[in-house]
Amino acid sequence: MTTQDSPEWRIDAAGWLVGGERIESPNRDARPPGTSIRLIVIHAISLPPGQFGSGAVTALFTNGLDPAAHPYFAGIAAQRVSAHFFIHRDGAITQFVSCAERAWHAGISCWNGAERCNDFSLGIELEGDDRSDFIEAQYRALATLLACLRRHFPIEAVAGHADIAPGRKTDPGPHFDWSRIVGSACVVSLQRP
């Protein structure tokens, strides 16, 4: 796992964070030809809801979530989803999908008039929810990851899942402090203060 204390972060030619933990998700496919990566979408997830460190997010992203392990899992175990990156509560990062590929993270979505945000975005999941503050280590890791991605791709904005899927999604939620990433060599979505 890559942490915020890692040396200079970079993305290799295959789209993987060098030195990061890599667990490949099957929930991905090819981006449309000629599509540039211009958006980063910030998400939040905890499984079961409100619980951290269970390993269930990895199981969900790799299609191994046991629907009998928790009542909540029965309704989501069949979903085929994944983000490119997952930032754990301690700031460690796991990458599930190469940046060169399309991860299935945004669902029905629209940004600046362009639909199907999965086509042109990278998804970063933070381990968290709408009721809990995010941890300092997560903000440091996110800022460093955003700066790294900005060096490698023509990123125009960073938006929350709620911004690209309003009314359908709420993440990263009211406890995410957008001011913590404004200076992270990225442009924050115009929908954010």
Identity of residue 113: G
Query: Residues 83, 103: contact at Cβ < 8 Å?
Result: yes
Kindly name the residue from 8, 24, 101, 125 that is annotated as catalytic.
Answer: 125
Q: How large is the C-alpha radius of gyration of the chain?
A: 15
Catalytic annotation present for 101 = no
Residue closest to 100 by CA, chosen among 12, 6, 7:
12
> What are the C-alpha distances in Å from 176 to residues 77, 94, 124, 130, 192?
26, 20, 13, 8, 12
Query: Active-site positions?
Result: 125
